[in-house]
Amino acid sequence: MAISYSAPVKDLMFLFDDVMAMQENFEHLNDGELATPDVVSAILSEAGKFCENELAPLYQSGDEGCIWDAGVVTTPTGFKEAYRKFVDAGWTSLSGDPAYGGQGLPSSIMIAVNEMLATSNWAWSMYPGLSEGAVATLEAHGTEAQKDQFLGKLISGDWSGTMCLTESHCGTDLGQMKTRAEPMDDGSYRINGTKIYISAGEHDLTDNIVHIVLAKIPDGPSGTKGISLFIIPKYLVAADGSVGERNGVQCGSIEKKMGIHGNATCVLHFEDATGFLIGRPHDGMQSMFTYMNVARIGTAAQGVAAAELSYQGASTYAKERLAMRSLSGVKNPDGPADPIIVHPDVRRMLLTQRAVAEGGRAMVVYASRFADIYRSGKTEKARTDAEARLGFCTPILKGFLTEMGFYSANLGVQVFGGHGYVREWGMEQIVRDSKISTLYEGTTGIQAIDLIGRKVLMDKFFQLKLFSSDIMQFAAQFLPWKRDPQFSVMWKKAAKLVLLTMKWRYLAMRVGARSKRNRDNAGAASVDFLMFSGYLYMAFMWAKMSLEAHKQLAEGRGDAEFLKAKIHTADFFFAKMLPATDALGKQILAPLDSVMQMPESSF
């Protein structure tokens, strides 16, 4: 039985038009006037149809996986045809630079489309998704000649891109990498080394694959300071811009992995491959972070995708599956049992999934405002400020939403019971596929230490204060409404936000003070601090959505059923999920010895 998918276009438009007022943000962008409400609505609606009609039907069949044969990779049945339709419709060019054939629309629109792509077919969506990071890296750091040579083909989707970081002996610790780049007399480099876990590293969807590769130049500084970034195309580019002779890049194998079988996760061998330096020598790590910010917000949206698809499957099943009678009395007297959706625990699981999906979607859209300005802001200061704000949000989004998405996918299996554990229904596939999101582009632990270390303590709390000030300013507007019965529930939510925001600042300062005595304190508290941050961020979003829903209902606008569901889900989140911050606060302040006192030999 295939999983059906219904694109959440109404929810996205609610966020874009009402909650986040994205049109106001677009006014601060170069060419932002192109993204009118009608244009945004049309794009999201058509993207939703493509996902429902072309990609969702391939989701379960794509689990058959890719085939590797002597370095050649064949994608699952239907993938190539769907990709060609995607390219022919111009979807790959939405946010691309118009100078290279792009449509110049804000990144936030493409991020929203990518969420729908990932929900309808996670493995397929990674093929065009990886190209976006390559495009962003070239736009920010490539020479004009490199842009002329590669950007047009990447933006059109005729060629695809990858990012090649990991090696078998080093994952996140890139300073240990062994791939070497020897400078040649013509300005190019000869690259030798092996990279693993390269998503979409080899496939049959495009004529060429442009690999963005980290490598070390001889006699460079040791560690990460000696890493440079290179363009290595699968096929060299001929003088007329067409595909030329084969470069020294070979796919040695594809990984046999837990999920996302439809995407080729490759071992790539670079053997005297011709590469071209991006940016300055030994500046590869800084250039790479351009890609990583793009990739990590995309991975956060994959967490939303896991929760959304599992929720859609579970909610449909819960309304149809009959089992036992309601504790409060028979609800289906004409049937042998009641539908399981009447049982409180099933509702708890469904509402948790819905809260994560819709709250996470709002978190991503909120952060995508910064992505828009970072990429297309009218002034350099605006772009720099937005980059810093996006950088603060990124580890929270990536770490929290992928963990909660995986948790939500597990809840979907639980709703189905034994039926969820077998492949026929497709629910277990969502669990297998979604686990990778907590691992690639930096594990949850890496995101957590990035947040507490680089983005909070090394930043001297500056971005944390900015974000928490946004929450405080939002909450302050409810103070005059304390005695208004219509908004009394909102006032309570606002008060909770204020208290949690103050606690967030306090916890950050306590971790900072402890870390001055022993830096392991930051590591011990990091994941709990990230999850606390995520719950608060999501609470902020649910409060914003709840307020807008209350306003529209009071004014007689909008879809009443949709708006009431928003308020009910917000109430559930604040009552049943947000109290997790109480335990997390205590875990953050737990003594370091509770983690570090056991001798290594005892493990």
First-to-final CA distance of the chain: 45
Strand partners, 198: 266
Nearest C-alpha neighbor of 107 from the set 307, 365, 489: 365
Per the annotation, the verdict on 380 as an active-site residue is no
Distance (Å) of CA 347 to CA 179, 296, 315, 545, 580: 52, 31, 9, 21, 18
Dist CA 235 CA 5 (whole Å): 37
**Is there a contact between 360 and 542 (Cβ–Cβ < 8 Å)?**
no
Q: Which residues contact 527 (CB under 8 A, 6 or more apart)?
A: 399, 444, 445, 448
Burial class (CB in 10 A: 0-12, 13-18, 19+), 126: buried
H helices of 64-160, where?
79-88, 107-120, 122-141, 144-146, 152-156
Contact (Cβ atoms closer than 8 angstroms) between residue 359 and residue 572: no
Question: Which contiguous run of DSSP H or E holds residue 357?
Answer: helix 344-376
Report the chain's C-alpha Rg in angstroms: 24
- Strand runs labelled E in 127-226: 159-164, 180-183, 189-199, 208-216
Cα–Cα distance for residue pair 597/399, rounded to 1 Å: 27
Buried b (16+ CB within 10 A) or exposed e, 422-433: eeebbbbbbbbb
Residue 322 β-bridge partners: 339
Q: Pick from 493, 536, 529, 491: which is nearest to 509 by CA? A: 529
Residue 279 CB partners (closer than 8 Å, separation 6+): 141, 228, 229, 286, 287
CA dist 423 → 125, 416, 433, 528 (Å): 21, 12, 13, 34
Q: Which residue in this structure is represented by tokens 């230490």?
A: 449
Which residue matches tokens 């600042």?
A: 505
Q: Which of 473, 468, 537, 541 is nearest to 509 (CA)?
A: 468
- Tokens representing 211? 């690999």
Contact 220, 296 (CB under 8 A): no
Instruction: Check 387, 441, 555, 561 and give the catalytic one.
Output: 441
- Would you please indicate which residues are annotated as catalytic (active-site) residues? 441
